[in-house]
């Protein structure tokens, strides 16, 4: 057995961002309008994200925080310098689809968009940082939503594959790790943010969600096939918003309810890894009287092209009961959970459960026996910029070190194959669920507030120096 304190030598330490919350530059470089550009700040945000409120009905005074975000579009070079200084071995970021295909339907890509990402990727490779690219992170050209109804329409699969083909060819030999869809299961919770879905009145929403899921799953399998054909070194991952459900009590009904809720997450992984609809899902669709439109070749496509690794985000475990009248609901987190009295919560009501990460790692590894990659984890918290430009974010260090410690346990004591860790929002960025800037995750502070004011100047937090040490010592110095 290897030394208990040491992560595998090749372990990929790093951080993650995504174009929709980091990049901004919404009308620069030939980029077309995208989903992220119509997500408002404030109280309407949740209704738009969940598909209940049509963004076209928002009034003129509406602010859209994603349009500028933290202006990664102009600051990427400086930001990668911070990553180099911390010793990153991997950087997860997403490509904005409408920067490459502004309408989603063009015959040829926008070269300026490709060149923008090429500069980023070249700088990463030059500095031995592995790029981990999310092809679609809560983002889709607005034209595909307005003209095609987004992922409910099978035609969108072809547009997505064209986008993928462009990326796989253009970045051949420069990018090895790809994620087809960020948190693919999010479409069940926030259908607009997750998949660009706006519901019409009297529509069977569940049926639409399963149709969208099916189309994305077929697209993901075909993208996997294409990636392997273009470059056999490519490694493709699915990406789940994970976090195991615990039963509220030892009542058998609660235990079964937790099993059932966990299936909502596993449903996607089961198809992307095992290559077929699991029986419990087929039964559920029958019970709900849902009929999704499929093509005869779909079964073979899903079967033949499983992903190479399983990536996931983990912020917390969840708690559930079969009895709707027990327990208190947590606030803040978009995936519903009851409050677990044994856990502390963040300022935004998200529960903090490091051991739950080990439970989740084991559940995923035992089920799939594929390499795992934690591509999001972290604490959204308010930070105070001191007069001397320092930020004492000890709470973040504590959160991260407790999670990294259980990752080590999962590897060394449980034998889980974990290939990397990219904590979320390594450079502060805007929150997906609230659109706020004050919900910060980074090692690098960005001077901007919830009203959009600030110099966008970057400052290193205390956690910056801490994480640098963690990487330097390969996880020994927590
Ligand atoms: C994940 C998303 O759901 O959680 C990210 O993939 C998101 O896009 C992250 O930012 C944290 O959530 P929030 O709402 O605090 O930004």
Shortest CA distance to 181 belongs to which of 169, 154, 163?
Answer: 163
Q: With 60 as the cut, is the pLDDT of residue 286 above it? A: yes
Tell me how far apart the alpha carbons of residues 463 and 443 are, in angstroms, rounded to a whole number. 5
Shortest CA distance to 83 belongs to which of 12, 137, 7, 182?
Answer: 12
Shortest CA distance to 153 belongs to which of 55, 97, 222, 219?
Answer: 219
Residue with the two structure tokens 């890894």: 273
Q: With 90 as the cut, is the pLDDT of residue 3 above it? A: no
What confidence score (pLDDT) does residue 4 get?
Answer: 58
Ligand 1 atom showing the smallest separation from residue 431 Cα: 16
- 273 within 8 A of 307, measured Cβ to Cβ: yes
For 144, counting Cβ atoms within 10 Å of its Cβ (0-12 exposed, 13-18 middle, 19+ buried), the class is buried
- 416 within 8 A of 410, measured Cβ to Cβ: yes
Per DSSP, the three-state class of 51 is coil
- In the reported structure, the alpha carbon of residue 201 is separated from the centroid of ligand 1 by a whole-number distance in angstroms of 29
**pLDDT digits 0-9 by tens, 193-236:** 999 999 988 899 999 999 999 999 999 999 999 999 999 999 99
- 93 within 8 A of 19, measured Cβ to Cβ: yes
Q: What is the DSSP string of 65-95?
A: GGGTTT-HHHHHHHHHHHHHHHT-SEEEEE-
Does residue 313 have its Cβ closer than 6 Å to ligand 1?
yes
- Top mutation candidate among 192, 399, 432, 450 for ligand 1, by most atoms within 8 Å of CB: 432
**pLDDT digits 0-9 by tens, 69-108:** 999 999 999 999 999 999 999 999 999 999 999 999 999 9
Q: With 70 as the cut, is the pLDDT of residue 314 above it? A: yes
Does residue 18 have its Cβ closer than 6 Å to ligand 1?
yes
DSSP 8-state assignment for residue 335: S
Q: With 80 as the cut, is the pLDDT of residue 333 above it? A: no
- 228 within 8 A of 216, measured Cβ to Cβ: no
User: Model-level pTM?
Assistant: 0.97
Tell me how far apart the alpha carbons of residues 364 and 345 are, in angstroms, rounded to a whole number. 24
- In the reported structure, the alpha carbon of residue 426 is separated from the centroid of ligand 1 by a whole-number distance in angstroms of 12
- In the reported structure, the alpha carbon of residue 429 is separated from the centroid of ligand 1 by a whole-number distance in angstroms of 10
What mean pLDDT do residues 159-172 have?
Answer: 98
- 350 within 8 A of 315, measured Cβ to Cβ: yes
What mean pLDDT do residues 139-167 have?
Answer: 98
Tell me how far apart the alpha carbons of residues 132 and 94 are, in angstroms, rounded to a whole number. 8
Give residue limits of the domains in the chain.
Answer: 12-472
Alpha-carbon separation of residue 170 from 157, 166, 320 (angstroms): 20, 6, 45
Handedness of CA 421, 427, 430, 431 (dihedral sign): positive
Beta strands per DSSP E along 34-158: 90-94, 130-134
* CA triple 47-52-55, angle to 5 deg: 70
Tell me how far apart the alpha carbons of residues 259 and 431 are, in angstroms, rounded to a whole number. 30
Tell me how far apart the alpha carbons of residues 476 and 86 are, in angstroms, rounded to a whole number. 15
Per DSSP, the three-state class of 281 is helix
- Top mutation candidate among 377, 381, 433 for ligand 1, by most atoms within 8 Å of CB: 433
Ligand 1 atom showing the smallest separation from residue 430 Cα: 16
Active site residues: 183, 376
- In the reported structure, the alpha carbon of residue 316 is separated from the centroid of ligand 1 by a whole-number distance in angstroms of 12
**pLDDT digits 0-9 by tens, 360-390:** 999 999 999 999 999 999 999 999 999 999 9
ipTM: 0.99
**What superfamily does domain 12-472 belong to in CATH?**
Glycosidases (3.20.20.80)
Residue nearest to atom 4 of ligand 1 (CA): 432
- Top mutation candidate among 376, 383, 437, 438 for ligand 1, by most atoms within 8 Å of CB: 376
Q: With 90 as the cut, is the pLDDT of residue 331 above it? A: no
Tell me how far apart the alpha carbons of residues 428 and 351 are, in angstroms, rounded to a whole number. 21
Q: With 90 as the cut, is the pLDDT of residue 310 above it? A: yes
Ligand 1 atom showing the smallest separation from residue 18 Cα: 8
Handedness of CA 406, 462, 8, 178 (dihedral sign): positive
Residue nearest to atom 15 of ligand 1 (CA): 431
- In the reported structure, the alpha carbon of residue 31 is separated from the centroid of ligand 1 by a whole-number distance in angstroms of 23
How sure is the predictor about 2, in pLDDT bands with cuts at 50, 70 and 90? very low
Backbone angles phi, psi at 234, to 5 degrees: -60, 140
Percent of the chain with pLDDT over 70: 99
- In the reported structure, the alpha carbon of residue 283 is separated from the centroid of ligand 1 by a whole-number distance in angstroms of 31
DSSP 8-state assignment for residue 441: -
Say how many residues make up the chain.
Answer: 478
**How many whole angstroms from its chain centre is CA 424?**
9
């Amino acid at each position: 057995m290897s030394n208990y304190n040491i992560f595998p030598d090749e372990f990929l330490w790093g951080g993650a961002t995504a174009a929709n919350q980091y990049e901004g530059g919404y009308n620069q470089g030939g980029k077309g309008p995208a989903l992220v550009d119509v997500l408002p700040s404030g109280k309407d945000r949740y209704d738009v994200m969940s598909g209940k409120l049509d963004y076209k009905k928002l009034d003129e005074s509406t602010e859209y925080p994603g349009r500028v975000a933290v202006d990664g579009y102009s600051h990427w070079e400086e930001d990668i310098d911070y990553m180099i200084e911390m010793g990153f071995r991997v950087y997860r970021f997403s490509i904005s689809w409408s920067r490459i295909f502004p309408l989603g339907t063009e015959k040829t890509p926008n070269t300026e968009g490709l060149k923008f990402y090429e500069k980023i990727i070249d700088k990463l490779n030059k500095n031995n940082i592995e790029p981990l690219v999310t092809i679609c992170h809560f983002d889709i050209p607005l034209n595909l939503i307005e003209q095609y109804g987004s992922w409910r329409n099978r035609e969108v699969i072809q547009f997505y594959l064209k986008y993928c083909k462009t990326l796989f060819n253009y970045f051949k030999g420069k990018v090895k790790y790809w994620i087809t869809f960020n948190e693919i299961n999010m479409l069940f919770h926030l259908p607009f943010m997750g998949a660009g879905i706006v519901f019409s009145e009297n529509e069977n929403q569940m049926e639409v969600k399963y149709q969208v899921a099916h189309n994305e799953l077929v697209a993901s399998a075909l993208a996997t096939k294409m990636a392997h054909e273009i470059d056999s070194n490519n490694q493709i991952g699915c990406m789940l918003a994970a976090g195991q459900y615990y039963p509220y009590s030892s009542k058998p009904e609660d235990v079964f309810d937790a099993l059932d809720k966990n299936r909502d997450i596993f449903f996607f992984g089961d198809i992307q890894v095992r290559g077929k609809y699991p029986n419990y899902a087929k039964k559920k669709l029958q019970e709900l009287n849902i009929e999704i439109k499929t093509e005869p070749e779909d079964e073979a496509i899903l079967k033949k092209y499983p992903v190479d690794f399983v990536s996931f985000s983990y912020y917390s475990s969840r708690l559930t009961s079969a009895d709707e009248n027990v327990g208190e609901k947590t606030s803040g987190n978009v995936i519903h959970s009851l409050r677990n009295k044994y856990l502390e919560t963040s300022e935004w009501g998200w529960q903090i459960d490091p051991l739950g990460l080990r439970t989740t790692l084991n559940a995923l590894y035992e089920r799939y026996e594929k390499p795992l990659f934690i591509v999001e984890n972290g604490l959204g918290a308010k930070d105070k910029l001191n007069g001397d430009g320092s930020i004492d974010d000890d709470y973040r260090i504590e959160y991260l070190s407790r999670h990294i410690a259980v990752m080590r346990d999962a590897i060394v004591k449980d034998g889980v194959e974990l290939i990397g860790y990219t904590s979320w929002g390594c450079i502060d960025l805007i929150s997906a669920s609230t659109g706020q800037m004050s919900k910060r995750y980074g090692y690098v502070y960005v001077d901007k507030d919830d009203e959009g004011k600030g110099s966008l100047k970057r400052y290193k937090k205390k956690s910056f120096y801490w994480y640098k040490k963690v990487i330097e010592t390969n996880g020994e110095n927590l």
